[in-house]
């Protein structure tokens, strides 16, 4: 999609463009037999994804750090459609312990898993270290989703085998993957404070999202697993992700 089409919303070969809504794209889809886990499903892109999948009758699990916001999101969805199937589970992607707890709690529900949307993330935040000793953007945006995906893969693979329905893993990346440290991901200097750049640290975490999806896809094809993995740049959408970039947010708000 060229820059003109991106700005104008002109449809591409698929019939959809940047101005297309989730409801338009999913029109006519019956997701009754699908279960989807959406990280960061309490706000922004995640909430809209949860809302529309629930509207299409999928069973949606909102995974969120802020449970008050998650339950509020659930009520918003139910207010629109009181037959919607929506549940909430606590998940802090910056915490390995929380990720393990989430996976155990989800598996204990004995639900199928058809779709995993790794949506949650933080962006351009000041230098911080997670409780596990990892730079916060890399910990949350990549390590958290990497571990979560691995812990849920058996459930998704089993679901795909039992139902014959292809599993889907989607990593929300960003065009910012092009704007990272020299050489890409600084694996040996992830926690380097002296050379820390909030934007380059974000970029390397988004590059990691893409590499993760690419490697999953390669392995699935090699092993004949009925699951696809993709990464996607969602575009510039004004959500709380921009909370550490007030100037940037203001610029886009007034365009």
| Residues with catalytic roles | 196
Nearest to 231 by CA among 245, 211, 248: 211
Instruction: Identify the helix (H) or strand (E) that includes residue 117.
Output: strand 115-118
Q: What is the DSSP letter of 228?
A: E
Q: What is the rounded distance in angstroms from the CA atom of residue 246 to the CA atom of residue 30?
A: 39
Polymer length of the chain: 255
For the chain, the distance separating the N- and C-terminal CA atoms, rounded to the nearest angstrom, is 20
Nearest to 39 by CA among 84, 114, 102, 126: 102
Indicate if the alpha-carbon torsion angle 204, 206, 207, 212 is positive or negative.
Answer: positive
Antiparallel, parallel or unpaired: β 115-118 and 35-39? parallel
């Amino acid at each position: 999609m060229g820059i003109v089409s991106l700005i104008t919303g002109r449809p591409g070969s698929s019939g959809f463009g940047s101005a297309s809504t989730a409801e338009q794209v999913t029109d006519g889809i019956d997701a009754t037999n699908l279960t989807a886990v959406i990280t960061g499903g309490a706000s922004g892109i995640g909430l809209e994804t949860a809302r529309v999948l629930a509207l299409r009758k999928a069973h949606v699990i909102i995974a969120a750090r802020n449970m008050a916001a998650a339950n509020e999101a659930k009520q918003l969805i139910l207010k629109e459609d009181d037959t919607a199937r929506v549940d909430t589970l606590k998940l802090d992607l910056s915490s390995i312990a929380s990720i393990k707890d989430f996976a155990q709690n989800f598996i204990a529900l004995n639900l199928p898993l058809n779709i995993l949307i790794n949506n949650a993330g933080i962006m351009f935040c000041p230098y911080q270290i997670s409780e596990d000793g990892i730079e916060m953007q890399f910990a949350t945006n990549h390590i958290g989703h990497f571990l979560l995906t691995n812990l849920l893969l058996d459930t998704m693979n089993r679901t795909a085998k039992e139902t014959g329905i292809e599993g889907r893993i989607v990593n929300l990346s960003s065009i910012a993957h092009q704007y990272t440290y020299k050489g890409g991901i600084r694996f040996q200097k992830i926690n380097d404070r002296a050379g820390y750049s909030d934007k380059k640290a974000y970029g390397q975490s988004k590059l990691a999202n893409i590499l993760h999806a690419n490697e999953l896809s390669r392995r699935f094809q090699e092993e004949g697993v009925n699951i696809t993995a993709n990464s996607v740049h969602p575009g510039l959408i004004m959500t709380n992700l921009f909370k550490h970039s007030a100037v940037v947010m203001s610029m886009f708000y007034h365009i």
